[in-house]
Amino acid sequence: MNSVTEFSPAKINLLLAVTGCRADGYHDLVSVVAPLNFGDELVAESCARASGPQFTLSCAQPAVPLDESNLIFKAAQAFGAATGWQGGVHFKLTKRIPLGSGLGGGSSNAIAALRALDKISGGLLTTEQWSALAATLGSDCALFLNPTPSLMRGRGEKIEQLSAAARARLSGRRVLLFKPRFSINTAWAYQQMRQCATDYVPVGLAEKQVAAWLDGSKPAEQLLANNMERVAFDKFIALPVLLNKLRTQFGVEGRMSGSGSACFVFLSEEQASAPLLQCIRACWGAAAFGQETRLS
């Protein structure tokens, strides 16, 4: 196989409860997370290796790093180290997921790179290696091994698929994503939470909230929560102001995804997205990102 094309989906955190800081510096969390039908595209092309690097990357978006800081490179290098495969590959990334948005684009790209390399190499990765590599590459990576609405625990590496009944309340729901021109640094957001430990949600309370939703029949709107919003909203007032405006003017319920700065609202099947996008760009400027999609 000389060329492989992989879809690299975005995700949103429907519920995100950061429950405390771990001894290793990461944070524990409980989160209900759902992949989207919207995302990036990664093409991997096998190439001869006369000399030079084993892996190369190109992307038309100037803001995307093309060096080893990109998770695509880290995933490719981890694949080579785990399997001993020596072939060369050039990656072409079509980037649609905004950078610094809390939509999981980097983690999703990393798993897409592993999928492409595994196909090109003839399927070298074992089941155990898939899980191990995902855990080492990033906290969100495990979700994208089997992208479906899931319950995430630990620092994000522990994934439990939702029941069929719970997935049915989520899958296919219309979602409007939107993001201002600015991003929120994830490390900064978690550092702010460390400094104000009262922002943490007790793990028992988070689990109780999730269990109550899973055991019932309430729609996705009744699940929405994110305790990272406090630190983000205190600094970036444009986020809560717009979410409140959309709630009062259009009757939609939304949240910030992950550490932000992207937000989302659910839309009914009859509701037009154009008036909401017009409102978003009137508040945040014409360059604000907006994308209608659905939960996978």
In Å, what is the CA distance from 143 to each residue of 47, 52, 205, 235, 283? 30, 33, 23, 29, 33
In Å, what is the CA distance from 233 to each residue of 103, 183, 216? 18, 13, 31
Contact call for residues 260 and 236 (beta carbons, < 8 A): yes
Gap between the Cα atoms of 295 and 175, Å rounded? 7
Is 172 in a helix, a strand, or coil? coil
Sign of the torsion angle spanned by Cα atoms 33, 34, 38, 42: positive
Which residues are marked as active site?
A: 11, 140
Give the pairing of strands 3-21 and 225-226: parallel
Is 157 in a helix, a strand, or coil? coil
The residue among 57, 71, 80, 84 whose CA lies nearest residue 134 is 71
Lookup result for tokens 């986020």: 239
Contact call for residues 262 and 101 (beta carbons, < 8 A): yes
Is 20 in a helix, a strand, or coil? strand
Contact call for residues 144 and 81 (beta carbons, < 8 A): no
DSSP string for residues in 21-71:
E-TTS-EEEEEEEEEEEEEEEEEEEEE--SSS-SEEEEES-TTS--STTSH
